[in-house]
Amino acid sequence: MTYIAKPKLHHPGLKPNKLGFTHRDYEGSISTLCAGCGHDSISAALIQACYELSIEPYKVAKLSGIGCSSKTPDYFLGPAHGFNSVHGRMPSVLTGANLANRDLLYLGVSGDGDSASIGLGQFAHCVRRGVNMVYICENNGVYGLTKGQFSATADKGSRSKTAVNNDSPIDLVSLALVLGATFVARSFSGDKKQLVPILKAAMAHKGSAIIDVVSPCVQFNNNPQSTKSYDFVREHNEAVNRIDFIESKAEITADYEPGTVTMVRQHDGSMLKLSKLHPDYDATDRAKAMAYLQERHAAGEVVTGVLFVEEQADDLHDALGTVATPLNNLTERELCPGSAKLADLNADYR
């Protein structure tokens, strides 16, 4: 934990992105999490992804619940508004915020306790609705802030310093697939090379993008018996694909062997190049993805990568038929029917 404020000076050699922002413009306050916490690596990956995509930092809304993970929105994208809401209820607050202004990029940051225990219902329903967002579950299998109790994602039989978990785990990725999420991925906080392109693809995705990021808790769940430890994940990580995110304006060159790559075009025109690491894996087939996940999980592997993506997904605003103008920009002119209409209506009630 550090308490020294970051210097505001930028190194002159920092490379600006298309909007002229450097990496530093996407940072937030100094993290108060433990040294070595996986969550800080995820914040760094988010900063990297937003910088590379040249997103205007202030046009992002960061929402979270309660827990270590939910504190992190303070530690990236300082120029953006953040909302640290109540435990397990980030999805509903994010849904409401999204309804009010469809033009922002919504980052929902949550943890395994927040999403899989207290907030499982809200997690499920925001996925069902196709809220346009990037939902990141920083998954360490424990409650850090209350000192190390197991959460609902902890594997059966996993051990902490003082206890053994006997309950079956909830796998948010499998759940998201069943619930109709249109972008589902899993990654590892220790694998920035994989996580950054996944985040970029998720940000470009229209609809609910769910990313489960295994993020070891160095304080309470990084012991040799834990399935959420750095060592365990490194040893058992089975990536199904390598992800290259190609922005919509980039020229696409076909320099790959047929059958080894899946190209996915998303709503905004961007392309996702998924190089297959497992020849049979098809990230555009929901049913097969689900079956594959179950098989590999039974074999003790942690399957990572873009697990499923639906190319031209609709979101909640499409379903509701809302106007293009953000609802929070509408005025009396569009909203108030006026006294003449009311007079007609009064006549109907006589």
Partner 1 sequence: MQPISATNDFVVKFANVNGSGSASANELFARSILRMGVPVCSRNIFPSNIQGLPTWYEVRVSGEGWLGRRGETADFVVAMNPQTWNKDIDSIEPGGYLVFDSTKPLTTQKTRDDVHMLGVPLTRLSNTLEGTIPRERQLLKNVIYLGAVAQLLSMHLETVESLIAEQFAGKDKLIKLNYTAMKLGYDYAAEHLAGKCQLKVTKDDKVGDRIFIQGNDAAGLGAVFGGATVCAWYPITPSTSLAEAFTAHCKKFRVDPVTKKNNFAIVQAEDEIAAIGMVIGAGWNGARSFTATSGPGISLMQEFFGLAYFAEVPAVVFDIQRGGPSTGMPTRTQQSDILLAAYASHGDTKHPLLFPQDPGEAFEFAAQAFDLAERLQTPVFVMLDLDIGMNDWLCKPLQWDDKRKYDRGKIMTAEMLDAGKLFGRYLDVDGDAIPYRTLPATHPSKGAYFTRGSSRDRFAKYSEDGSVYVDNMQRLLRKFETAKTIVPAPVRRDAKEKTKYGAIYFGSTSPAMDEALAALEKDGVHLNTLRVRAFPFNEEVVEFINAHDQVFVVEQNRDAQLQKLIVNECAIDPARFISILHYDGTPITARFITGAIAERMKVTHKEAAE
Binding site for partner 1 (CB under 8 A): 56-59, 61, 63, 73-74, 78-86, 89, 91-101, 103-104, 121-122, 124-125, 129, 316-317, 320-324, 327-328, 330-332, 334-339, 341-343, 345-346, 349-350
Q: Cα(249)–Cα(271) distance, rounded to whole angstroms?
A: 10
Q: Cβ of residue 156: shortest distance to partner 1, in angstroms?
A: 28
Token code pair at residue 207: 């609809």
Token code pair at residue 238: 């089975």
Contact (Cβ atoms closer than 8 angstroms) between residue 292 and residue 298: no
Closer to partner 1 at the Cβ: 83 or 256?
A: 83
Contact (Cβ atoms closer than 8 angstroms) between residue 95 and residue 122: no
DSSP 115: I
Q: Cβ of residue 83: shortest distance to partner 1, in angstroms?
A: 4
Q: Cβ of residue 67: shortest distance to partner 1, in angstroms?
A: 13
Pairing of strands 183-188, 237-239: unpaired
Q: Cβ of residue 94: shortest distance to partner 1, in angstroms?
A: 6
Contact (Cβ atoms closer than 8 angstroms) between residue 286 and residue 308: yes
Token code pair at residue 246: 């190609």
- Nearest CA to 163 out of 146, 147, 143, 149 is that of 149
Token code pair at residue 236: 């058992």
Closer to partner 1 at the Cβ: 99 or 263?
A: 99
Closer to partner 1 at the Cβ: 106 or 281?
A: 106
Q: Cβ of residue 213: shortest distance to partner 1, in angstroms?
A: 22
The 3-class SS string of 10-37 reads CCCCCCCCCCCCCHHHHECCCCCCCCCC
Contact (Cβ atoms closer than 8 angstroms) between residue 99 and residue 66: no
Closer to partner 1 at the Cβ: 9 or 324?
A: 324
Closer to partner 1 at the Cβ: 87 or 288?
A: 87
Closer to partner 1 at the Cβ: 58 or 256?
A: 58
Provide CB contacts within 8 A for 269, sequence distance 6+. Answer: 248
How many of the other CB atoms lie within 10 Å of CB of 263?
14
Closer to partner 1 at the Cβ: 179 or 196?
A: 179
Closer to partner 1 at the Cβ: 87 or 297?
A: 87
How many of the other CB atoms lie within 10 Å of CB of 87?
16
Residues in the chain: 350
Q: What is the CA radius of gyration of the chain?
A: 21
Query: CA geometry: angle at 129 spanning 133 and 142, to 5°?
Result: 60
Q: Cα(8)–Cα(73) distance, rounded to whole angstroms?
A: 19
Q: Cβ of residue 110: shortest distance to partner 1, in angstroms?
A: 13
Q: Cβ of residue 206: shortest distance to partner 1, in angstroms?
A: 17
Closer to partner 1 at the Cβ: 85 or 187?
A: 85
Q: Cβ of residue 36: shortest distance to partner 1, in angstroms?
A: 22
Q: Cβ of residue 66: shortest distance to partner 1, in angstroms?
A: 8
